[in-house]
Amino acid sequence: MFRTHTCGELRISDIEKVVTLSGWVQRSRKMGGMTFIDVRDRYGITQLVFNEASDKELCDRANKLGREFVIQVVGKVSERSSKNDKIATGEIEILVEKLDVLNTSATPPFTIEEKTDGGDDLRMKYRYLDLRRPNVRKNLELRHKMTMEVRRYLDNQGFLEVETPVLIGSTPEGARDFVVPSRMNPGEFYALPQSPQIFKQLLMVSGFDRYFQIVKCFRDEDLRADRQPEFTQIDCEMSFVEQEDVISNFEGMAKHLFKTIRGIELTETFPRITWHDAMKYYGSDKPDLRFDMQFVELMDVLKGHGFGVFDSAEYIGGICVKGAASYTRKQLDQLTDYVKRPQIGAKGMVYARVNADGSVKSSVDKFYTQEVLQEMKAAFNAEPEDLILILSGDNCMKTRKQLCELRLKVADELGLRDKNKFACLWVIDFPLFEWDEEDERFVAVHHPFTSPKEEDIQYIDSDPGRVRANAYDMVINGVEVGGGSIRIHDSELQNKMFEVLGFTPEKAKEQFGFLMNAFQYGAPPHGGIAYGLDRWVSLFAELDSIRDCIAFPKNNSGRDVMIDAPAQLDPSQLDELHLIVDVKEEEN
3-state secondary structure of 472: strand
Q: Which stretch binds a second copy (CB under 8 A): 105-113, 392-400, 419-427, 434-442?
A: 105-113
15 scored as a contact of a second copy (CB under 8 A): no
Contact 509, 554 (CB under 8 A): no
Angle between helix 243-262 and helix 134-156 axes, rounded to 10 deg:
140
Segment contacting a second copy (CB under 8 A): 44-52, 302-310, 362-370, 566-574? 566-574
Q: How far is the CB of 129 from a second copy (least distance, A)?
A: 6
> In the complex, what is the shortest distance from the CB of residue 127 to a second copy, in angstroms, rounded to a whole number?
8
Q: Which range in 405-413, 438-446, 461-469, 573-581 contacts a second copy by CB under 8 A?
A: 573-581
- According to CB under 8 A, which one of 51, 78, 105, 294 is a site residue for a second copy? 105
Residue 70 three-state SS: strand
Instruction: Check binding of 174 to a second copy (CB under 8 A).
Output: no
The DSSP output letter for 431 is B
Residues 389-408 that bind a second copy (CB under 8 A): none
Q: For residues 120 and 141, which CB has a smaller minimum distance to a second copy in the complex?
A: 141
175: contact with a second copy by CB under 8 A: no
Judged by CB under 8 A, the chain residues 192 through 251 that form the site for a second copy are 192, 198-199, 202-203, 205-210, 216, 218, 220, 222-223, 229-230, 232, 240-242, 245
* In 381-449, alpha helices (H): 396-413
Question: In the bound complex, what is the minimum distance in angstroms from residue 168's beta carbon to a second copy?
Answer: 5
Asked if 356 contacts 384 with a C-beta cutoff of 8 angstroms, the reply is: yes
Q: How far is the CB of 526 from a second copy (least distance, A)?
A: 10
Tell me the number of residues near a second copy by CB under 8 A: 123
Q: Does 8 bind a second copy (CB under 8 A)?
A: no
Residues 540-559 within binding reach of a second copy (CB under 8 A): 550-552, 554, 557-559
Smaller CB distance to a second copy: residue 231 or 368?
A: 231
Residue 22 lies near a second copy (rule: CB under 8 A): yes
Q: Is 535 annotated as a binding residue?
A: yes
Nearer to a second copy, 144 or 466 (CB): 144
Q: Check whether the bond before 431 is cis (ω within 30° of 0).
A: no
Query: Contacting a second copy (CB under 8 A), which of 87, 95, 162, 266?
Result: 162
CB 2 within 8 A of CB 22: yes
Check if the beta carbon of residue 430 is closer than 8 Å to that of residue 456: no
**What is d(CA 130, CA 551) in angstroms, rounded to the nearest whole number?**
10
**Alpha helix locations (H) across 394-490?**
396-413
Q: Does 219 appear as a known binding residue? A: yes
Q: What does the chain come to in residues?
A: 588
Binding to a second copy in span 252-281, by CB under 8 A: none
The answer to whether the annotation marks 277 as part of a ligand binding site is: no
Query: How many other β-carbons are positioned within 10 Å of the β-carbon of residue 163?
Result: 9
CA end-to-end distance (rounded Å), the chain = 52
Site pattern 65..84 for a second copy (x: CB under 8 A):
---xxx--------------
Separation of alpha carbons 253 and 245, rounded Å: 13
The answer to whether 487 is a known ligand-binding residue is: yes
> How many angstroms separate the CA atoms of 240 and 581, rounded?
49
415 CB contacts (<8 Å, ≥6 apart)?
A: none
11 is in an annotated binding site: no
Q: How far is the CB of 508 from a second copy (least distance, A)?
A: 15
Q: What is the DSSP string of 78-96?
A: EE-SS--TTSTTTTEEEEE
151 near a second copy, rule: CB under 8 A:
yes
For 581, residues 6+ apart whose C-beta sits below 8 A from its C-beta are 574
Q: Is 520 in the site for a second copy (CB under 8 A)?
A: yes
- Say if residues 17 and 77 touch (Cβ distance below 8 Å): yes
Among 12, 18, 79, 128, binds a second copy (CB under 8 A): 128
| CA distances from residue 79 to 3, 29, 76, 430 in whole angstroms, order as listed | 20, 19, 10, 63
- Residue-wise DSSP of 167-202: SB---SSSSPPPEEE-SSSTT-EEE--S-SHHHHHH
Q: Which of residues 468-507 bind a second copy (CB under 8 A)?
A: 489-490
Residue nearer to a second copy on the CB measure, 134 or 384: 134
Annotated binding-site residue numbers for L-aspartate: 173, 219, 446, 487
Q: Which residue numbers belong to the known binding site for ATP?
A: 219-221, 228, 480, 532-535
- Binding site listing: 173, 219-221, 228, 446, 480, 487, 532-535
